[in-house]
Amino acid sequence: MGGHGHIATGIINWSKTFGKLDEKATRLIVTPRVYYSTNTIGVSIDEKGNETKLEPMQINEDREFLLDDIVIELN
């Protein structure tokens, strides 16, 4: 699994490569699993532009949930 993105926009694109599908398969079912972390970390910038690293902190409990299956017909 890997991804790339831009910190300024907050947009990250993730991808994952799976092994070969069974040649008899008629559909592919993908169940998206979303993990939401509430850990925060960052920097503080003073008037002179100097950065100070902030300590990580946990705001709330992390969450995980499943989205509806995505069914892709292969025939």
CB 25 within 8 A of CB 61: no
CB 43 within 8 A of CB 51: yes
Per-residue pLDDT tens for 51-72?
888 777 766 777 888 999 999 9
* Backbone φ/ψ region at 40: left (φ over 0), alpha (ψ -120 to 50), beta: beta
What's the token pair of residue 38? 């509430």
- Per-domain residue ranges of the chain: 25-75
* Global pTM value: 0.49
C-alpha–C-alpha distance, residues 53 and 59, integer Å: 17
CB 34 within 8 A of CB 74: no
Q: Report percent pLDDT > 90 for the chain.
A: 27
